[in-house]
Amino acid sequence: MADNDSKLRVVRQSRDGRRCYDEKGKRALIETALQPGISAARMAQEHGINANLLRK
């Protein structure tokens, strides 16, 4: 997730605070988190999302 194209970007935020992320960034984050030896909790923390959201 080092290059700028794979960063998780907020596309839109609703009035109640929910954020919508771009599909490309979500896919890259999930693929990275599924690799052996990668901590899903750490990946979530680095990108400012809840770890349970990433595990879903």
As a whole number, mean pLDDT of residues 1-20 equals: 74
Residue corresponding to tokens 């349970």: 52
pLDDT tier for residue 9 given thresholds of 50, 70 and 90: confident
Percent of the chain with pLDDT over 90: 20
d(CA 2, CA 35): 15
Amino acid residing at 30: I
